Amino acid sequence: MKRIKIFDTTLRDGEQSPGCSMNLNEKIEVARCLEKLKVDVIEAGFAISSKGDFESVKTIAETVRDCTVASLARANTGDIDAAYEAVRNAVDPRIHLFIATSPLHMEYKLKMTPETVLQKTADMVRYAARYCSNIEFSAEDATRSDPEFLAKVVTAAIQNGATVINIPDTVGYATPEEVKELFSYLIGHVENADRVEFSAHCHNDLGMAVANSLAAVSAGALQIECTVNGLGERAGNTALEEVVMAMKTRADRFPLQPRLDTTKIFRASKTVYNIIGQSAPINKPIVGKNAFAHESGIHQHGVLANRLTYEILTPESVGIGKNAMVLGKHSGKHAFAAHLSELGYELTQEELAKTFERFKALCDKKKTVNDLDIEALVHDKSRGSESGDYTLDRFDVHSGNCATATCTIRLKKEETLTEEVSLGDGPVDAAFRAVDKIVCPPAHTFENYAIQSVSEGKDTLGEVVVKLRCDGEDYTGRGLSTDIMEASILAYLNAVNRLCAEHRPEGKEA
């Protein structure tokens, strides 16, 4: 049975955009979420681009069982060798190779004639097809290419073994009508077009990525490339949650459907935002805080009479629960574990014990603990420390509008306690300076500090994200506490520990 395949490139096109980098564990966490979502293909990275990318593509290929795993490669043998080496142990490995086909890209970026691009396409697809039978070919900047030349390149790719043909709108320039025309033209004119799957890969520079992807589907595309939350270069890629819910909600217009489990969308979105230290804009379709809120009296009245008056899809369909408080300080560990499992979390015994302990502590501090709080506790990794990390033992902070802020901090590393004090431009600055005095991290720039409340109420948990940059790499730290100073210190310490772990001289224990 034909259906629309979802190719997720959060870990490649999404991750390569500024401020969205992830470490290996975070990428694995995202890959697991994508597998639960039942995407068809996970593009796990660009294997040749760095040692870290190679390792993460390889690990994901060896971890994920229910999806095809792809690595990107330029049209050269070195890239293709690395891509295959990284994905070869996947249940269904795919090499995704690309070359640009627009006059601008060929002349100024590749410095190649169209004839050379055509020849390279044939040679490199044939080269990749010796490794595996699942080969995707992308014509970069396809929507600004000459359609006749593009058809020749696509024909060469199919003749030499490509099984998926991707037509990217690399700079987000095309309109839905143009996309539909281009796909119809290619599918109608290219020899053996019916033997391959056509795929759309749209960028959102003019806000048309989702509309363009749907236009491609209307013209016969069978694969959509997208990212969770629409992450990606510049204005991002097609947002997975939006394009999938558009197809599901308008099934009357899209007879071919994706296999996705939409009830896992909200969780995937939160996981990705949490990892990159961002949150959804409140009016973001599907996953924004207001996406299902009905504020005005007229709308509320209508929804009460019949939900369908103003609601075209339900929060439940994307996995947004009611956040009802069903557990409290008297709940036992079994009830807690059962509730976590209802929410879709499977924790190890050790993780469960730690999370339960923190849940109990939170119940003492906060009047009501709801699912948002519990999920924040599950996601919070800041308390987990690696050997050699500094952990927070205690802090004492003083600030006021007529006094210079001061912070005294005591950190623990293995069994050693170290205390320092610092002044600062406000309590957060004073605390971070005190941490620096103890840890002495390598030179870095301070990129971002963000704080947000997890749920409602004055006693809410505060979640702080701190981002540091060193040698072009981002180090993100997170902290969670009902005390925002504590959350800030935990987040900073988390980032600094990661930075120090990466810059430890090789072979040297912390």
Q: Does 98 bind ligand KIV (CB under 6 A)?
A: yes
Nearer to Zn ion, 161 or 168 (CB): 168
Q: Does 168 bind ligand KIV (CB under 6 A)?
A: yes
Least Cβ distance, residue 239 to ligand KIV (angstroms): 15
User: Which one, of 213, 242, 219, 237, lies nearest residue 227 by Cα?
Assistant: 237
Nearer to Zn ion, 79 or 463 (CB): 79
**DSSP state string for 3-28:** -BEEEE-IIIIITTSTT----HHHHH
Q: What does 43 bind: Zn ion, ligand KIV, none (CB cut-off 5 to 8 Å by kind)?
A: none
How deeply is 332 buried, as exposed, middle or buried, from its count of CB atoms within 10 A (0-12, 13-18, 19+)? exposed
Write b or e for each residue in 435-457: b if 16 or more Cβ atoms lie within 10 A of its Cβ, otherwise e. beebbebeebeebebeeeebbee
Say how many Å lie between the first and final Cα of the chain, rounded: 55
Q: Helix-strand-coil percent breakdown of the chain, rounded to 5?
A: 45, 20, 35
Distance CA 391, CA 382 (A): 10
- Contact with Zn ion (CB under 5 A) among 8, 11, 13, 59: 13
- Contact with ligand KIV (CB under 6 A) among 23, 145, 170, 212: 170
Q: Binding to ligand KIV (CB under 6 A): which residues in 201-260?
A: 201, 203
Task: Show Cβ contacts of residue 405 under 8 Å, excluding neighbours closer than 6 positions.
Answer: 397, 398, 399, 423, 424, 425, 426, 427, 429, 430
Q: Give Cα 485 distance to the centre of its chain.
A: 28
Nearer to ligand KIV, 205 or 473 (CB): 205
Q: Amino acid identity, residue 91?
A: V
Q: How many residues bind Zn ion (CB under 5 A)?
A: 1
Hey, what are 468's tokens? Answer: 């540091």
Distance CA 419, CA 395 (A): 9
Q: Binding to ligand KIV (CB under 6 A): which residues in 193-212?
A: 201, 203
Hey, what are 325's tokens? Answer: 């408080």
Q: How many residues bind ligand KIV (CB under 6 A)?
A: 9
Q: Does 169 bind Zn ion (CB under 5 A)?
A: no
Q: Does 143 bind ligand KIV (CB under 6 A)?
A: no
Mark out the alpha helices in 347-445 (DSSP H runs).
349-365, 371-379, 427-439
Q: Is 508 helix (H, G, I), strand (E, B) or coil?
A: coil
CA quadruple 162, 132, 11, 48: dihedral positive or negative?
Answer: negative
Nearer to Zn ion, 13 or 92 (CB): 13
Least Cβ distance, residue 74 to ligand KIV (angstroms): 9
Q: What does 140 bind: ligand KIV, Zn ion, none (CB cut-off 5 to 8 Å by kind)?
A: ligand KIV
Least Cβ distance, residue 141 to ligand KIV (angstroms): 6
Q: What does 98 bind: Zn ion, ligand KIV, none (CB cut-off 5 to 8 Å by kind)?
A: ligand KIV
Query: Phi and psi of 135, rounded to 5°?
Result: -120, 125
Nearer to Zn ion, 15 or 29 (CB): 15
Nearer to Zn ion, 169 or 486 (CB): 169
Candidate ranges 165-173, 338-346, 348-356, 437-445; the one touching ligand KIV (CB under 6 A): 165-173
Nearer to Zn ion, 142 or 377 (CB): 142
- Contact with ligand KIV (CB under 6 A) among 15, 140, 474, 486: 140
- Is 433:421 a contact under the CB 8 Å cutoff? no
Eight-class DSSP state of 505: P
Q: What does 138 bind: Zn ion, ligand KIV, none (CB cut-off 5 to 8 Å by kind)?
A: ligand KIV
Nearer to Zn ion, 13 or 373 (CB): 13
Nearer to ligand KIV, 201 or 264 (CB): 201
Q: Does 35 bind Zn ion (CB under 5 A)?
A: no
Q: What does 74 bind: ligand KIV, Zn ion, none (CB cut-off 5 to 8 Å by kind)?
A: none
Q: Binding to ligand KIV (CB under 6 A): which residues in 120-139?
A: 138
Nearer to Zn ion, 209 or 489 (CB): 209
User: Which one, of 264, 261, 204, lies nearest residue 238 by Cα?
Assistant: 204
Q: Binding to ligand KIV (CB under 6 A): which residues in 267-286?
A: none
- Is 369:393 a contact under the CB 8 Å cutoff? no
Give me the helix-helix angle, 333-342 and 371-379, nearest 10°.
90
Candidate ranges 166-174, 281-289, 322-330, 469-477; the one touching ligand KIV (CB under 6 A): 166-174
Q: Is 63 helix (H, G, I), strand (E, B) or coil?
A: helix
Least Cβ distance, residue 41 to ligand KIV (angstroms): 12
Q: Does 13 bind ligand KIV (CB under 6 A)?
A: yes
Least Cβ distance, residue 84 to ligand KIV (angstroms): 17
In the complex, which residues of this chain contact ligand KIV (CB under 6 A)?
Answer: 13, 98, 138, 140, 166, 168, 170, 201, 203
**What is the contact surface with Zn ion in residues (CB under 5 A)?**
13
